[in-house]
Structures are given as C-alpha cells and as structure tokens.
A and B are shown apart, each in its own frame.
Chain A
Amino acid sequence: MIALKLAYKNLVGAGLRTLLIVFVLSLAYVLIIYMNGLYQGWDRQARIETIAWEVAEGQYWQTEYDPYDAMTLTDAHAPVPAELEASVSEGKAVPILITQATIYPEGRMMGALLKGIDTRQKLLSIPTDLLDPDSDEITAIVGTRLAKAAGLEIGDKLLIRWRDVNGTFDATDLKIAEIFKTAVPAVDQGQVWIPLSTLQEITGMSGEASLVVVDKSPGEGTSISGWEFKGHDFLFKALEEMIKSKTVGGSVFYLIILALALLAIFDTQVLSIFRRQREIGTYIAMGMTRKQVVGIFTVEGGMHAILAVVLGALYGFPLLLWTTKTGIKMPEGTDDFGMAAAEHMYPYYSLALIIGTIILVMIATTIVSYMPSRKISKMNPNDAIRGKII
C-alpha cells in the first residue's frame, strides 16, 4: 500500500512528464486493441459470411474432391449418399455438383466452375430461387465479381462449354437471371450457378453431387462411404492462417508504439534514480530495505500502465465503440485477394483481447521499470543521502 501511495504521489508530482508517458502508453493500449479488434472483427465477419454463403455447418466432400486442384473435378462426383437423402429432402442438406467449364463473354474465353445447386434450398444465402429449372433456356446466377470481370448484366446470354461424364464437349447459351452481391469470393469469382437438376442432366451425372452442405456438424473427420465430412476447423484453416499472418504484420506497427512508450519509461526511471538519490538514501535511512525501495520505483514505473488504462479508457472507449458502430471502409478490391471481406469491416473487441492487452502492457511496463531500479540495490546509502552518486 505504501508503495502504491508513494508511487501515485510521485507520478502526480512529476506532472507533464507523467502525462506524456501515460498518453503514449495509452496510445499503445488503444492501438493494440484497435488493430487486433479489426483482425478479430474481420475473422468473425468472414466466418459469419462464409457460413452463410458457402459452408453452413460443414460439407461432405466426395473423396476425390479437392477445391485446390481443378483436375480432380472430373472424377469428384458420386450419387448423393443414402444417409443424406432424408436431410436433402427436408432442406437440411444441399448437394452441389461442380464441373469445369469455359465461358465466352463478349467473344473472350474464361475458365469457370459450373455449379449446380438445388433451387429450393434455403441453407445458403445464394439467391437460388431466381434460378428456374423448368425454363426452356438454362438460367444462371453469378456474383458481382464475375459479372464485372466478364462484363455481364442481368438478362445477358453467356456462351458456356463443358464436358459431360464421358468427356464429350457440349456448349449452350445461359441466361443471366441475377447478379448477386456477396462478401465471399469463393462463391463468386469464376463461378456460374445453375439448377442442380439441369447440370446433372447436361453432364449425364444424374442424382450426383461433388459436395453436400449440411446444417448440422456430425463432427470433424466423420465419413460416409465415399464421402468425408469437413467441418469448420478444416474449412476455416486457410482463413485463420491468412488473418494470423496479417495480425503479425500489424503487430509491428503497435510494437513500435509500445517500444516508444517503454523507452520513455525506461529513460524516466534511469533519470529518476539519478535525480532522486537523496530520496532513495532517505528511504533507506528511515528504515526501508533496498528491496523495498526498488519495489517503490518499480511500482512507480508500473503505475504508468495503470494510469494509461484510465486515460486510454477515457478516449479509447468512445472511439473504439464508434468504430464498432460505423465500421471501417475497406479499400476497393480488398475482397479480390480471395478472402471474405465486406465493404465495411466492423472491429470486434472481445473481453479477452482487452484484458490480455492490459496485462501484456502492464507486464512489459513493470519489467522495463524494474530493470533500471535494480541499480538502487547497489547504491551506497551514505552517498545517496548526499546526492554524491554520479
């Protein structure tokens, strides 16, 4: 208690110097929380969007299916397993058939994935109800990214060529029924969605699918003969790794701010110990042990971190709260990198992030305060009392 009381009084007595250090340290708090909150918000938002648009609660993959190897698509199809048929008919599972295709927008040639999906499905946010399986022409929906890349508009005809189950090429015109906007590039870039029954018919893969999206996870690694379940842990691995690498990059920025604040504290502590030799000697003369005096100076340095929490909360709380309401506008083209990213990023500041940051800064500050304070334990109190230590 004495150490806290003395430390508080000494900091208040130091006036502007304390205020400056505390301000820089509070900046470190706010920036660390803001940057990490942004990444956490991005992660959270990307998960929510990806679940809504692409993966739901998981996917059964036909064992040959590998989204990163287009060559596997030729063989990555099989009849929807009997175990999932009931779920499919109840709308709790959505089979998707995928095949390679080539589209010819405005006379150009582009590779694409032709995806067949049940038009009645409600599990994913893809507006499949705009597809008409009974129409004379094949209706298709595409995302804004593909529409932009291929110069497509609603009502346009798009020539598409594909190979059927026997490897025979066929081609026809699709009618673009809708262009949908999504934050998930994986259901947009280079993807053309048509009714499942139509794709099964034109490829000769009747009743087959490449993957089945489900509304309930049976548990990671569960398999049905010829199909393997992929849960969130697996499906979000790439996303998490990308966010982790972004977080590490962002850390450099706030570590610089933190280092500046810690350097200021270290400098102040060194200066204090030289400037306050008489005070140190007097503490010892009045019956404090050197360890206790080291404790006072360490607490004093560490208390910068406590005051910085208070100051940081004063301006940081409303600022961070504002960012969660208004979001941060993402630069044009951010989502073209292949990560789910909405136009606005809404930071998410978890309690663990806030408490973790406070603990991290406090520990760092206390260590930095302790290091120069150790010098006190080697001081000769007689010289200190007279201010004779150089």
Chain B
Amino acid sequence: MKNGSIITIESLIKSFPIGGGEFTALNGINLTFAKGEFSGIVGPSGSGKTTLLNILGSLDSPTKGHTNVLGTASDQMNPRVSAMLRKKHIGFIFQTYNLMPVYTVFENVEFPLLLLKTPAAERKKAVLEALEWVGISDKVKSKPPQLSGGESQRVAIARAMVKKPDLVLADEPTANLDAENSHHILQTMENLNKELQTTFVFATHDEKVIGYLRRIITLEDGKVVSDKNIKK
C-alpha cells in the first residue's frame, strides 16, 4: 500500500458475463485514497461507479488487477475475511436507506454494534451519540415506516457511523431526497468526516453532492477520465 493511503487500486478490471459475451464495467482503474478523504466517484449511469464502490466494500471482487482496502489485499479475500472487514471497518449508506422495517431507530443503529458484540452499556452510549450527530435523537423509538426520507437517511448515516468505521461508502445517498434534506445530510457527513477523520467515498451523479466533495473522480465507460482535488 502506498504511503498514507488506506485504499490502493491497481489495474483493476471487472467484467460480467452477459448473454454469450462479456461486459466490462471497469477497465484498468488505478486509484489511491488517503485517510480522511471526502471524495466522490462521479459519472453517468453505467459508467461503473457502483461496481467500483462494491469492490471497495468487498461486496464484489476484481476480475483482474489488485486492490488493497484497509490493509486487506484482494487476493486474501474470502467470504469470512471480507465479512470481517465490512463488520469492523466499513460503513455503508444506500440510496434506498435499507433500514430494517421492524426495528426501531435505536435498534437499527444498534445493529452493527450487536454484530461486533459490543457490551450493552457501550452500545447504548454509542447509539445515542450517533443519533445526536445526525440530529435525530427524538426519534429513538420510531420505526422506519414512521420516518420521512430525510430522517431515514440520517438514521442510515448514524448506523454507518456508530461503529466509527475507517471508511464509509455512500451509493447515491441523496437520490431519494429533496434539496433541503440533501444539504442537511451532506453537511452532517462532512462534519463527521472532519470530526472523526473517517474516509468517505461517494458514488453519485447528483450536483448537490458533487458540490461538497474535496476530490472528484470521474468515470466514463469504466475508465477514470479525470481525478481532481478541489480546494475548499
């Protein structure tokens, strides 16, 4: 892994079988991400953003090439190792929130800590703290169907952040939100990034998100066409 970086991607190719042939979603990607980055992979639909994010999150594996995420190389990955990596070090934020409908807000946020077998007292403290970060402490006992889109996504952020992961991967986190909620969510994530030094990687084509990013990686047809750092 290169100095200071927590993610290294070298000559990454990812292809999927389609019909009798193959579709190459990512074609020769080389990237590194440093700790504390607030970066985004942008590009049109089908450019490979989500596929790249999935590989970073060890939900998928490269067809060719090499990745190293938080010290775990792609050739070391197996279902158990990748599950452990996600459980301990990676938080996910989804476009559709993916909250468990039968759990309360508290229980949804508590879930990653349950998987980590965190003691109950610590769990409670961490959950309440995470809910405070995202400003939704008054909805502790509510269930997802009772929440608005913006509230649901804030719960999802709290769930991703509660274990204080090294890396948060957010796939189109504002796609289902109005402008006001989108800005609120993005400000929350920006604050958490600054406060906790958590690395955020977004996959998005939403201009509102792009406006907050400090690094923009543009993908087109599975290739990096630009990689810009934005001074803020």
Contacts and interface: CB of A to CB of B under 8 A. Distances in A.
Given A281-B98, A282-B100, A287 B59 contact: no
Interface residues of A, number: 23
Contact of A285 (B80, B92, B100, B107): B92
Nearest to B88: A287
Contacts of B85: 287
Contact of A286 (B54, B80, B112): B112
Contacts of A289: 79-80, 83
A24 to B, nearest CB: 22
Contacts of A284: 59, 83, 86
A381 B79 contact: no
A9 B103 contact: yes
A382 B60 contact: yes
A382 B87 contact: no
B57 A290 contact: no
B interface, how many residues as a size bin?
Answer: 20 to 34
Interface in A275-310: 278-279, 281-282, 284-290, 292
A382 B95 CA distance: 13
Contact of A279 (B50, B90, B100): B100
A183 to B, nearest CB: 56
B73 interface: no
A385 B96 CA distance: 9
Interface string B59-93: 11000000000000000000110011111101010
Contact of B115 (A9, A278, A288, A382): A288
A287 B98 contact: no
A285 B57 contact: yes
A386 B92 CA distance: 13
A301 to B, nearest CB: 16
A13 interface: yes
B96 A278 contact: yes
Contact of A12 (B100, B102, B112): B102
Nearest to A279: B100
Interface in B174-203: none
Interface string B99-120: 0111100010001101100000
22 contacts: A9-B103, A10-B102, A278-B96, A279-B98, A282-B98, A282-B100, A284-B59, A285-B57, A285-B59, A286-B86, A286-B87, A287-B83, A287-B86, A287-B87, A288-B87, A288-B115, A289-B80, A381-B59, A382-B54, A382-B59, A385-B94, A385-B98
**6 closest A-B pairs (Cβ-Cβ)?**
A287-B87, A13-B102, A282-B98, A287-B86, A289-B83, A285-B92
Given A285-B92, A288-B87, A289-B83, 19 more contacts: A9-B103, A9-B107, A12-B102, A278-B98, A279-B100, A281-B98, A282-B92, A282-B94, A284-B86, A287-B83, A287-B84, A287-B85, A287-B112, A288-B115, A289-B80, A290-B79, A382-B54, A382-B60, A386-B96
